[in-house]
Amino acid sequence: MDAGLHLLEHQNLSSLGMREVTREAGMSPAGFYRHFRDLAELGVALVEESLASLHAMIRATLAEQGEAEARIDRTVEVIARYVREHRAHARFLARERHGGVRPVREAIAAELRRFAEEVAGALGAQPESAGWSPEDVRMLAELYVDHMVSTAAAFLDAGPDGPGMDGSGSEGPGAGGPGSDGSREGCEGEAERRIARTARIQLRLIGVGRRHWLDS
């Protein structure tokens, strides 16, 4: 599984070969069948492995309570940390969520659905949700989960392994400011901080909408 995950950082699951995996793992090709029948089976195993840690982190974040602003900060930081510390897992999930292997796709979708239910439960228990219909709470939860996924994907794209800035970049109109290109390694968190800031503001905006939802 580690060999497969390592190879999947640059490839796609459907393009992965089992010979490739066994070679990376230092095994004989036939040895693969001792553990998995398919490559898809390896895929769903990786899905479970990938979502275990994320699930734990999210659950902990949902449990804690406090000021809305502090919760937003914690949430965004948890997402950033997951992507930073489990980059391979996160990329695998983002890549195969809509990938070509049906069982893997469905495994990820099912887990995300469970996430949404959990978030909906936590939201429903909050006092801000008084007077909300369960369907609306559920939709709010889905919005939060979708936003979490988008944010995680943005963190991934801004990661250190993607230097691909092509020349035709349309860098914001007249936004010449930030590009202090001097340090190549020191400013590794610059793009990530920008994404985190954006995510926080977006979450804050959703929260504002949530508080003013009943009077519209």
Q: Dihedral sign for Cα 143, 146, 150, 152, please.
A: positive
Distance CA 178, CA 9 (A): 30
The correct pick among 2, 9, 11, 17 for binding DNA (CB under 7 A) is 17
Q: Is 6 in the site for a second copy (CB under 8 A)?
A: no
Closest among 87, 62, 66 to 75, alpha carbons compared: 62
37: helix, strand or coil: coil
126 φ/ψ angles, rounded to the nearest 5 degrees: -85, 150
Site string for a second copy, 36-65 (x = CB under 8 A): ------------------------------
Q: What is the DSSP letter of 41?
A: H
Q: What is the DSSP letter of 175?
A: -
Neighbours of 110 (CB within 10 A): 12
Of 18 and 143, nearer to DNA (C-beta) is 18
Q: Is 102 in the site for DNA (CB under 7 A)?
A: no
The correct pick among 139, 159, 191, 192 for binding a second copy (CB under 8 A) is 139
Q: Is 121 in the site for DNA (CB under 7 A)?
A: no
Please report, as ranges, the residues that interact with DNA according to CB under 7 A. Answer: 16-20, 22-23, 26-35, 38-39
Please report, as ranges, the residues that interact with a second copy according to CB under 8 A. Answer: 10-15, 91, 94-95, 97-102, 106, 109-110, 113-114, 117, 134-136, 138-140, 142-143, 146-147, 149-150, 153, 156-157, 164, 166, 168, 170, 172-175, 198, 201-202, 204-213, 216
